[in-house]
């Protein structure tokens, strides 16, 4: 794609508005700051004024049209998101969905998936239980003990060093791989229970509590957790950030992370590369050998594949349960439980789920709080739709395209489609 240096006045206005949203977020990151309500109201008004004059072209046929349409989508989501954070009451669940740019079609397929896959899930769970003798009981590493914490951190950092070498050797020629490994600091973190990536500090923290366990005085790596971490946080999020930040041929609003409108797409990209990394290692035993796992990768991969269906089920059940709460009133616990129970293999899940969020309701409106409804952003899956709709010889090109730019879900699909048609 040729470098573009100039854009329409509307795009430049949009770039400036998204930069103002970024500046507002940066202000709120500082200590001792208060939500700047008057300035936020003015910003929402300026955003809406631009949205009102932008053309509506749901099916763009070239990049200029796409950038304008994506700007309109993005700013519409940003306005809703900003309105939600200064509102005196919780927003309707549909408004939260709009703020996060979650396609309703991704929510509409959740219940049919549960209906169609319940028997398969039960059978998969039975097979896993039949092999329960293959599992061993595990203990967490007590990171409060200095000597054990140091051992765990050293084991994790050694394992991650080997992982980085394998990725560089096998995937270093792919877009952004070498760059993100050079740019980010990889380190063991014993204070956090979950691994994480911070694009501002350029740190990928590997939680020792997340990727290790103890048995008989020894500390072991949980290999599938380490592989997932590299695939999701590294080859997904970190590479996506690195490629986008280095792109010179995109309007600046597509290179600025501002939060809710982008999260659904960003997670879909990371989930795709997580699964892709597992599949790659399954086809390249020489790469796996250098990772020095204490069990065969065949066992690791089989365990991963066996649990994929169960993970999909548990995620979809969770999304369905969130939707059930969002579409009802807090006091309708019997109705909520009855609906969720239709798809819950574990009889206690409906009760536990309802009680978990018993304090997350807006007392003024009876609506489920925004931060709970926003969990549905993980249900969006534009990348799966993209990859299922293109021929195999276009997969590599599509993978490079999804790494470039911070898009809404629909915008990403149109971006890939237009570029693949060139």
Q: Please report, in angstroms and rounded to a whole number, the separation of the first and last CA atoms in the chain.
A: 10
Q: According to DSSP H, which parts of 283-407 are helical?
A: 285-289, 297-326, 333-341, 349-356, 370-373, 382-388, 395-402
What pLDDT score was predicted for residue 101? 82
Helix (H, G, I), strand (E, B) or coil at 195: coil
What pLDDT score was predicted for residue 316? 97
The answer to whether residue 148 scores a pLDDT higher than 80 is yes
Local confidence band at 144 (pLDDT 50, 70, 90 cut-offs): very high
Q: What are phi and psi of 196, to 5 degrees?
A: -155, 165
Helix (H, G, I), strand (E, B) or coil at 131: coil
What pLDDT score was predicted for residue 79? 93
The answer to whether residue 130 scores a pLDDT higher than 60 is yes
Q: What percent of the chain has pLDDT over 90?
A: 82
Average pLDDT over residues 347-374: 95
What pLDDT score was predicted for residue 133? 64
Q: What are phi and psi of 187, to 5 degrees?
A: -150, 155
Average pLDDT over residues 138-167: 96
Specify the DSSP class assigned to residue 189: E
- Tens of pLDDT, residues 6-27: 689 999 999 999 999 999 999 9
Cα atoms in the 13 Å half-sphere on the side-chain side of 126: 6
Which residue, 325, 327, 316, 385, is CA-closest to 114?
A: 316
- Tens of pLDDT, residues 79-107: 999 998 899 999 999 999 988 888 888 99
What rounded mean pLDDT belongs to the chain? 93
Contact 362/146 with Cβ under 8 angstroms?
no
What pLDDT score was predicted for residue 189? 96
Average pLDDT over residues 235-253: 96
Q: What are phi and psi of 215, to 5 degrees?
A: -160, 130
Instruction: Centre a 10 Å sphere on the Cβ of residue 201 and count the other Cβ atoms it contains.
Output: 10
The answer to whether residue 132 scores a pLDDT higher than 80 is no
Local confidence band at 260 (pLDDT 50, 70, 90 cut-offs): confident
Local confidence band at 3 (pLDDT 50, 70, 90 cut-offs): very low
- Tens of pLDDT, residues 305-345: 878 889 999 999 999 999 999 999 999 999 999 999 999 99
What pLDDT score was predicted for residue 2? 42
Q: What CA–CA distance (Å, rounded) separates 373 from 353?
A: 14
The answer to whether residue 386 scores a pLDDT higher than 60 is yes
Q: How far is CA 127 from CA 131, 133, 243, in A?
A: 7, 12, 42
The answer to whether residue 1 scores a pLDDT higher than 50 is no
Instruction: Centre a 10 Å sphere on the Cβ of residue 42 and count the other Cβ atoms it contains.
Output: 12
What pLDDT score was predicted for residue 134? 66
pTM: 0.89
């Amino acid at each position: 794609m040729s470098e573009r240096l100039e854009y329409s006045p509307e795009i430049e206005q949009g770039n400036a508005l998204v930069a103002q949203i970024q500046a507002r977020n940066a202000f709120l990151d500082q200590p001792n700051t208060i939500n700047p309500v008057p300035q936020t109201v003015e910003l929402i008004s300026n955003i809406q004024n631009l949205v009102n004059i932008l053309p509506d072209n749901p099916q763009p046929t070239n990049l200029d049209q796409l950038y304008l349409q994506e700007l309109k989508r993005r700013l519409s989501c940003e306005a809703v998101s900003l309105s939600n954070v200064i509102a005196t009451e919780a927003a309707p669940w549909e408004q939260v969905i709009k703020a996060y740019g979650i396609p309703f079609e991704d929510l509409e397929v959740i219940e049919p998936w549960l209906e169609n896959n319940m028997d398969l899930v039960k059978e998969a769970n039975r097979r896993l239980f039949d092999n329960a003798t293959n599992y061993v009981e595990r203990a967490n590493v007590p990171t409060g003990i200095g000597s054990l914490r140091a051992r765990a951190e050293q084991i994790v950092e050694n394992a991650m060093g080997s992982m980085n070498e394998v990725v560089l050797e096998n995937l270093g020629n792919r877009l952004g791989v070498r760059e993100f490994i050079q740019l980010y600091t990889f380190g063991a973190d014993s204070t956090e229970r979950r691994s994480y990536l911070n694009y501002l500090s350029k740190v990928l923290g590997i939680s020792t509590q997340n990727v290790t366990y103890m048995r008989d005085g020894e500390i072991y790596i949980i290999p599938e957790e380490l592989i997932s971490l590299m695939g999701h946080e590294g080859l997904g999020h970190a590479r996506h950030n690195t490629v986008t930040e280095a792109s010179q041929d995109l309007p600046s609003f597509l290179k600025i992370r501002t939060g809710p409108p982008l999260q659904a797409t960003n997670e879909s990209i990371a989930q795709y590369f997580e699964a892709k990394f597992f599949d790659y290692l399954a086809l390249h035993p020489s790469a796996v050998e250098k990772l020095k796992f204490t069990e065969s990768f065949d066992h690791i991969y089989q365990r991963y594949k066996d649990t994929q269906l169960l993970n999909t089920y548990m995620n979809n059940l969770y999304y369905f349960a969130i939707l059930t709460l969002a579409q009802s009133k807090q006091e309708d616990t019997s109705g909520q439980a009855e609906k969720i129970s239709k798809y819950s293999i574990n009889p206690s899940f409906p009760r536990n789920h309802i009680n978990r969020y018993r304090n997350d309701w807006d007392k003024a409106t009876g609506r489920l709080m925004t931060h709970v409804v926003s969990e549905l952003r993980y249900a969006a899956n534009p990348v799966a739709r993209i990859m299922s709709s293109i021929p195999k010889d276009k997969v590599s090109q599509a993978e490079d395209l999804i790494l470039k730019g911070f898009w809404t879900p629909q915008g990403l699909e149109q971006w890939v489609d237009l570029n693949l048609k060139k």
